[in-house]
């Protein structure tokens, strides 16, 4: 029995819809997963994520949760689901990206990475095994292998070295993961009386290789050889030019196994998502809806706006006139701008909520368009409206 079941339900060019059945929720793809770094999607109550947004899966962050509140606390509480109160599916990233992007003074060796906490400078060590141990405590439905995330400006030689290390770490991630699953260490375990799922965690491998198509291909092949429940594209949207990212996506995504979900990590704008979907990517996560929401940035069908702009001071219209979310049905731009200006918490709360509603609404529309074999036209229409606004 498998940890997750994935099946394709429709195709339109390389774009596809599917369903991921996990032990905690059923996820329609292409899916956008709101980011809950510290066990909370910033500014959102779970009740809204469940009811209006209908998020079936959110992210948790191994690095951040390891530092705060720490695995000791989460162990006592019985895993991240019980700790946080989120009962639908969780995907936890491996901590790799944060170790390489947030911490200073890191020293990478074969065994793992020595680094200092971004909070208090404490010396820490992370390895594939430690990442798997933490993710077993978190008890997520989907675990990510521990990878090296090299800076975007490395030479090809160094990226090749990094890909080699990531492959070795992927194997070690899988080995430790399987031990943990066999030992029942996963705190998120649920038992199904009647199910074709194993009740265990699933493990995804991560493809690296920077902007080099040959290294990407090699990384993919060697990762697939190890064998995972799904495959992710890492190391994109880390400062490279758009055409490099789109080049990798166009080449790599269609080569990824048909029979497992494809996940583009940490990406991106609505435009990026539409591009990636066109090449067959199924899963996305990004901090943009909530991060921009906190600084007044709203995504809309007519292009993006920042509510701090003085033109909205007495604007009675909603953030997005085509949006049916609870924020747009009720509140004017003038009111939300006032909340921002007055530094009221409700400002970030409302825009973040609208942005998540926009993103998950977009994904639902994408799925419908693929099912109806009109994804290209749909995409062109969305892009046209967003750039004309």
The three-state secondary structure class of 11 is strand
Which range of residues in 9-17, 37-45, 162-170, 238-246 is near a copy of itself by CB under 8 A? 37-45
Catalytic residue among 93, 147, 186, 282: 93
CB 383 within 8 A of CB 274: yes
CB 277 within 8 A of CB 14: no
Give yes or no for residue 340 binding a copy of itself (CB under 8 A). Answer: no
Known catalytic residue at 243: no
CB 64 to a copy of itself: min, Å: 8
Residue closer to a copy of itself (CB basis): 126 or 349: 349
Give yes or no for residue 257 binding a copy of itself (CB under 8 A). Answer: no
Q: How far apart are CA 190 and CA 236, in angstroms?
A: 34
Q: How far apart are CA 103 and CA 99, in angstroms?
A: 6
Can you read off the two tokens belonging to residue 197?
């799922």
Give yes or no for residue 316 binding a copy of itself (CB under 8 A). Answer: yes
Give yes or no for residue 346 binding a copy of itself (CB under 8 A). Answer: yes
For a copy of itself (CB under 8 A), the number of binding residues is: 40
CB 139 within 8 A of CB 89: no
Alpha helices, DSSP H only, in 128-281? 128-138, 156-182, 213-226, 242-252, 270-278
The single residue among 25, 185, 326, 376 that binds a copy of itself, judged by CB under 8 A, is 326
Can you read off the two tokens belonging to residue 251?
């080449």
How far is the CA of 105 from the CAs of 32, 50, 113, 125, 317, in angstroms? Answer: 33, 40, 10, 12, 49
The single residue among 344, 372, 373, 389 that binds a copy of itself, judged by CB under 8 A, is 344
CA dihedral (257, 222, 188, 43) positive or negative: negative
Closest CA to 85 of 43, 131, 50, 53: 50
Residue closer to a copy of itself (CB basis): 40 or 161: 40
The single residue among 332, 365, 368, 371 that binds a copy of itself, judged by CB under 8 A, is 332
Peptide bond connecting 69 to the previous residue in cis, omega within 30 degrees of 0: yes
CB 142 within 8 A of CB 92: yes
Backbone φ and ψ of 146, nearest 5°: -85, 125
CB 356 to a copy of itself: min, Å: 14
Give yes or no for residue 105 binding a copy of itself (CB under 8 A). Answer: no
Category of 39 on φ-ψ map: left (φ > 0), alpha (ψ -120 to 50) or beta: left
Catalytic residue among 12, 186, 282, 285: 285
CB 140 within 8 A of CB 188: yes
The single residue among 2, 9, 26, 68 that binds a copy of itself, judged by CB under 8 A, is 68
Give yes or no for residue 25 binding a copy of itself (CB under 8 A). Answer: no
Q: How far apart are CA 355 and CA 200, in angstroms?
A: 33
CB 309 to a copy of itself: min, Å: 14
Give yes or no for residue 386 binding a copy of itself (CB under 8 A). Answer: no
Give yes or no for residue 117 binding a copy of itself (CB under 8 A). Answer: no
Give yes or no for residue 88 binding a copy of itself (CB under 8 A). Answer: no
CB 113 within 8 A of CB 104: no
The single residue among 17, 29, 30, 44 that binds a copy of itself, judged by CB under 8 A, is 44
The single residue among 105, 122, 310, 345 that binds a copy of itself, judged by CB under 8 A, is 345
Can you read off the two tokens belonging to residue 360?
């998950």
Known catalytic residue at 93: yes
Give yes or no for residue 308 binding a copy of itself (CB under 8 A). Answer: no
Residue closer to a copy of itself (CB basis): 79 or 209: 79
CB 29 to a copy of itself: min, Å: 27
Type and span of the H or E element at 249: helix 242-252
The single residue among 11, 106, 116, 331 that binds a copy of itself, judged by CB under 8 A, is 331
Show which residues are catalytic.
93, 285
Q: Which residues bind a copy of itself (CB under 8 A)?
A: 38-40, 42-47, 68-69, 72-73, 76-78, 82-85, 313-314, 316, 326, 330-332, 334-335, 337-339, 341-342, 344-346, 348-350
């Amino acid at each position: 029995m498998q940890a997750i079941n994935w099946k394709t339900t429709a195709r339109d060019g390389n774009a596809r819809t599917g369903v991921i059945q996990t032990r905690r929720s059923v996820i329609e793809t292409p899916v956008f997963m709101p980011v809950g770094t510290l066990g909370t999607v910033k500014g959102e109550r779970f009740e809204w994520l469940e009811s209006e947004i209908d998020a079936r899966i959110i992210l948790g962050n191994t690095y951040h949760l390891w530092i705060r509140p720490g695995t000791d606390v989460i162990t006592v509480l019985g895993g991240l689901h019980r700790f946080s109160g989120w009962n639908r599916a969780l995907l936890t990233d491996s901590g790799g990206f944060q170790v390489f992007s947030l911490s200073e003074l890191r020293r990478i060796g074969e065994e793992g990475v020595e680094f200092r906490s971004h909070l208090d400078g404490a010396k820490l060590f992370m390895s594939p095994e430690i990442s798997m141990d933490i993710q077993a405590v978190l008890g997520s439905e989907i675990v990510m292998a521990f990878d090296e995330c090299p800076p975007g400006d490395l030479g090809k030689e160094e990226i090749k070295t990094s890909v080699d290390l990531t492959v070795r770490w992927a194997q070690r991630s899988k080995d430790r993961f399987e031990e943990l699953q066999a030992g029942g260490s996963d705190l998120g375990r649920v038992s199904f009386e009647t199910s074709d799922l194993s009740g265990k965690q699933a493990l995804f491998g991560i493809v690296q290789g920077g902007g080099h198509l040959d290294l990407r291909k090699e990384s993919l092949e060697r990762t697939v050889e190890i064998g995972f429940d799904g495959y992710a594209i890492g190391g994109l949207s880390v400062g490279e030019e758009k055409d490099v990212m789109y080049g990798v996506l166009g080449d790599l995504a269609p080569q990824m196994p048909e029979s497992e979900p494809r996940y583009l990590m940490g990406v991106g704008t609505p435009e990026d998502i539409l591009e990636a979907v066109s090449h067959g990517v199924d899963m996305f996560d990004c901090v943009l809806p909530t991060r921009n929401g906190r600084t007044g940035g709203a995504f809309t069908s007519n292009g993006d706006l920042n509510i701090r702009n003085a033109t909205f001071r007495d604007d009675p219209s909603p953030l997005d006139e085509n949006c049916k979310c609870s924020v747009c049905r009720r509140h004017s731009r003038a009111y939300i701008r006032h909340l921002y200006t007055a530094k009221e918490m409700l400002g970030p709360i409302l825009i973040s909520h609208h942005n998540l509603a926009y993103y998950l609404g977009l994904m639902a529309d994408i799925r419908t368009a693929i099912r109806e074999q009109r994804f290209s036209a749909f995409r062109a229409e969305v892009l046209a409206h967003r750039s004309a606004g």
